[in-house]
Amino acid sequence: MIKATKSPRVRIVLYEGLGADPLDGDSRYRIMRALLERGLTVTCTGPQPADDMTPGTLASVEESVLLVIGRFEGGQPPQVEDAAGRVTLHLLHLTDTDDQAVVQQIDQTLGELDVAVNQPGQWKPWFPVIDYSRCTNCMQCLSFCLFGVYGVDADNKIQVQNNDNCKTDCPACSRVCPEVAIMFPKYSQGPINGDQIREDDLKREAMKVDISSLLGGDIYAQLKQRSSAAKERFAKERDEKRALSERIRCLNKLAGQMDIPKEVLLNLPSQDEIRQRAADAAAKGRAALEAGD
Amino acid sequence: MPHDERSTRSADASPNARPLRVLYCRCAYADVVPEDVKDRVLQRLCESGRAFDTVADLCEMSARHDPALNRIAECGGVKIAACYKRAVHGLFEAAGAPLSTDDVHVLNMRTDDADTIADNLLNDGEVDT
């Protein structure tokens, strides 16, 4: 869940130029590290004179709250404002150079400014990233994803439209992509994590698609087939325990084959909903492909 | 002094040359980049005393379509210490801010040695404007 999408962007500038005391390298490192671990975006000016400074790219972004922190001379930050009025500028004198004290002081200031910032550990940015240099717009991912993550733009080009719908740690759609064009940068292994694609990867992906086709085309078909088979057995034998163990066995197999977290499989919508969603997604994909012809 | 005439420019560089900026991604939202590599690279940057930009996590920014990614892409001329090149380019593109391939260099903290990366970041690589 992305929390701070609507609040103003915050940029921190650790300022050590004219009118501020420079920090020693170790204090600078500890402060920078603590601020980054807190989830903040920071420009470090270093102790160079202002006219010899490599300009920060992020610090100059518009429509943001810019919090300039430093050990200002006399313990008082100077009064400054953005002449163009594009950036809300705040200055904060650091009373202590201890990293945790700095984070606490910044948290307090952001609280006073009513600015929310996402925090590492509370959420994992997990969503597919399409490598358009490989993507052939085949719509397999759109047809496959049960959660409506994919869509098409005005030109019927596949795109990731609903990041938040993606199930954390589930890379299944990347495994059905015949071109190995879907990445999850936070995934542990290549090529899904963005690592270089090797010949073996292409062969393996091709094999996966073939296996998938042999098994009935897609995961919905597999689920449906296995579920029907289980239902049939259940009807014949009226053995609830056996049906349940079959379901668990199937889910475990799918989880292993496609590295889908068990929680995702166990929280799938009802069979009717799955059928409906699969039909909708496939229709969307077909329509996009037809429009592109 | 205008920034394209900084003293960091080497003597034989063209008049329009400018040093590459540095962008460091902490990948703070996951444990996929080795902690010791992230720490060592950041430490070397901080000890150098030079100016640089950092972000907590490029994935998180891409998910939010943070306009800062546009700014970075527009400016070009940057060395990015993060993860795989394909992933970094994909994250910027996903945020509607495609990176140039000419003057953007991605250094991979998931696979490469920290000091090699830091040496590369701190070397005054330049790009002609």
Percent of chain A with pLDDT over 70: 67
Task: Indicate whether B99 belongs to any domain.
Answer: yes
Task: Indicate whether B14 belongs to any domain.
Answer: no
Q: Confidence class of residue B67 from pLDDT cuts 50, 70 and 90?
A: confident
| Stretch A118-138: mean pLDDT | 92
Task: Indicate whether B1 belongs to any domain.
Answer: no
Phi/psi-derived region of residue A121, left when phi > 0, alpha when psi is between -120 and 50, beta in every other case: left
Domain count for chain B, please give it: 1
CB contact (8 A) between residue B28 and residue A120? yes
Comparing A216 with A244, which gets the higher pLDDT? A244
- Chain B hits for A40, Cβ within 8 Å: 56
* Alpha carbons B57 and A37: distance in angstroms, whole number: 9
CA distances from A45 to A69, B3, B80 (A): 11, 14, 17
> How does pLDDT run across A166-197, given as a tens digit for each residue?
999 989 899 888 899 999 999 999 999 999 99
Burial classification of residue A126, based on how many CB atoms lie within 10 Å of its CB (0-12 exposed, 13-18 middle, 19 or more buried): buried
Least confident of A13-22, A70-79, A283-292: A283-292
> How does pLDDT run across A37-62, given as a tens digit for each residue?
999 999 999 886 555 445 555 555 55
Task: Indicate whether B84 belongs to any domain.
Answer: yes
Q: Confidence class of residue A15 from pLDDT cuts 50, 70 and 90?
A: very high
How far, rounded to the nearest angstrom, does the alpha carbon of residue A142 sit from its chain's CA centroid?
18
- Chain B hits for A129, Cβ within 8 Å: 62, 87, 90-91, 93-94
Nearest CB to A53 within list B26, B43, B51? B51
Comparing A128 with A282, which gets the higher pLDDT? A128
CA distances from A93 to A77, A116, A131, A265 (A): 6, 21, 44, 51
Task: Indicate whether B61 belongs to any domain.
Answer: yes
**Cβ–Cβ contact B122 with A under 8 A:** no
Cβ neighbours of residue B31 closer than 8 Å, sequence gap 6 or more: none
CB atoms within 10 A of CB A27: 17
**Cβ–Cβ contact B77 with A under 8 A:** no
Comparing A131 with B10, which gets the higher pLDDT? A131
Least confident of A6-15, A33-42, A258-267: A258-267
Return the domain boundaries, chain A: 9-112, 129-292
A9-112 is classed in which CATH architecture? 3-Layer(aba) Sandwich (3.40)
- Chain B hits for A187, Cβ within 8 Å: 32
Task: Indicate whether B128 belongs to any domain.
Answer: no
DSSP string, A79-140: ----TTS-EEEEEEE-S---HHHHHHHHHHHHHHTT-----TTS------EE-TTT-----H
Domain range enclosing B81: 19-121
pLDDT (0 to 100) of residue A269: 66
Q: What is the mean pLDDT of chain A?
A: 78
What ipTM did this prediction achieve?
0.86
